């Protein structure tokens, strides 16, 4: 599980950024693999396109955060995106956006029953793991052991696929408690945003306890999450402090922060520049490793970097530590055009939006 952050404010605990008389940071190493992944970028583009069209007419809904980023969701809330976990409370016929990390099968069923217009932005990597899990159960008769974080939306969605045939584990200790019939074929999959380190330990234990368990050679960790973790590891030997732009709810951001803590380097995650605590930068802090989680938007990353460079630190932009695959997600332009046409043809008297 993600540990509580040791110092500094989060969203909702805002402290002013004061000038530091002895701010002595000389250089900020900016990770070469940094920031938004293609799945998050696609989800946010969809949400902004939809709400730009609908905001003067009606609310748009989502069952939970589209992406695990406070800043991104704050922007969308101002465009009338409402979070409503209970889909039965959403008006029949509403526009609903499903998030990048997926949602439960029950949500898809409810959406159909209530005639929602659904814009599904689930990441294809998440979908790929789900499909492999479902095929393993239905075609192979496997009991699936799923390595994930309890309460994480991606894991909740996966467990909803087949709670009787999917068993969740988080730690090596959880594996110790597992018990299956000798004849039961077993296979393991994982949440896409785990760290390679935490996954490796659990998989090693699974192999030892269940030698016949099938562990697919292709790991399920998202390439974006893994490349950002590797980039952080590559900066730690030359840095005195690690600063991650990413929300407390973002597992991949918190994994990156924990990589620094494991090396006993002061490590913090923030959303907004005004959450940066000047007291973090004592006279001994001269080199800062700087990165951002896969759900942090470019302007947010740049604003936090600017806080450091405005105080005299030099930014050194590092080369990517690994080359990421060129993945594209086809954007449904025709659906956006159809939505725009729907509102363009709406009689003026049906515009019920009232500005504050």
Q: Which residues carry out catalysis?
A: 154
Q: Which residue has the tokens 């600017």?
A: 306
What is the rounded distance in angstroms from the CA atom of residue 122 to the CA atom of residue 190? 17
What is the rounded distance in angstroms from the CA atom of residue 334 to the CA atom of residue 344? 15
What is the rounded distance in angstroms from the CA atom of residue 165 to the CA atom of residue 188? 12
> What are 30's two structure tokens?
């900016």
Between the alpha carbon of residue 299 and those of residues 228, 292, 303, the distances in Å are 18, 11, 6
Q: What are the DSSP calls for 281-326, one per residue?
A: --TT--EEEEEE-TT--HHHHHHHHHHHHTTTPEEEEPPPSSPPP-
What is the rounded distance in angstroms from the CA atom of residue 262 to the CA atom of residue 201? 15
What is the rounded distance in angstroms from the CA atom of residue 203 to the CA atom of residue 212? 13
Q: Rounded to 5 degrees, what angle do the CA atoms 57, 39, 320 make? A: 135
What is the rounded distance in angstroms from the CA atom of residue 151 to the CA atom of residue 225? 19
What is the rounded distance in angstroms from the CA atom of residue 224 to the CA atom of residue 124? 13
**Residue pair 87/108 in contact by the 8 Å Cβ criterion:** no
The overall longest dimension of the chain from CA atoms, in Å, is: 68
> What are 252's two structure tokens?
């991949």
Q: What is the length of the chain?
A: 356
Which residues does 25 contact at the CB level (< 8 Å), separation at least 6?
Answer: 281, 285, 286, 287, 288, 308, 311, 312, 313
Q: Which residue in 69, 302, 297 sits closest to 193, CA to CA?
A: 69
């Amino acid at each position: 599980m993600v540990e509580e952050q040791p110092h500094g404010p989060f969203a909702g605990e805002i402290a002013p950024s004061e000038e530091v008389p002895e701010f002595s940071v000389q250089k900020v190493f900016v990770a070469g693999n940094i920031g938004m992944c293609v799945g998050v970028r696609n989800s946010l583009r969809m949400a902004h396109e939809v709400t730009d069209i609908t905001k003067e007419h009606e609310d748009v809904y989502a069952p939970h955060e589209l992406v695990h980023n406070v800043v991104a969701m704050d922007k969308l809330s101002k465009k009338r995106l409402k979070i409503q976990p209970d889909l039965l409370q959403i008006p029949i016929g509403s526009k609903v956006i499903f998030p990048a990390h997926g949602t439960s099968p029950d949500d898809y069923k409810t959406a159909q029953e209530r005639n929602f217009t659904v814009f599904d932005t689930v990441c294809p990597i998440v979908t790929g793991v789900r499909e492999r899990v479902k095929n393993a159960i239905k075609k192979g008769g496997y009991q699936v052991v799923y390595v994930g974080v309890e309460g994480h939306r991606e894991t909740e969605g996966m467990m909803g696929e087949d709670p009787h045939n999917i068993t969740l584990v988080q730690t090596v200790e959880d594996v110790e408690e597992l018990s299956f019939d000798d004849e039961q074929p077993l296979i393991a999959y994982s949440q896409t945003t785990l760290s390679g380190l935490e996954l490796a330990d659990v998989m090693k234990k699974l192999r030892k306890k269940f030698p016949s368990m099938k562990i697919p050679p292709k790991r399920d960790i998202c390439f974006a999450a893994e490349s950002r973790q590797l980039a952080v590891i590559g900066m730690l030997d030359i840095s005195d402090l690690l600063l991650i732009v990413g929300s407390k709810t973002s597992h991949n951001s918190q994994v990156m922060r924990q990589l620094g803590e494991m090396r006993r380097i002061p490590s913090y995650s923030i959303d907004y520049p005004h959450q940066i605590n000047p007291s973090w930068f004592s006279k001994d802090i001269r080199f800062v490793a700087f990165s951002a989680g896969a759900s942090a938007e470019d302007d947010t990353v740049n604003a936090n970097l600017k806080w450091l460079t405005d105080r005299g630190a030099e930014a050194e932009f590092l080369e990517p530590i690994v080359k990421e695959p060129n993945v594209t997600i086809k954007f449904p332009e025709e659906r956006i055009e159809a939505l725009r046409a729907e509102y363009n043809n709406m009689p003026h008297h049906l515009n019920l939006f009232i500005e504050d």
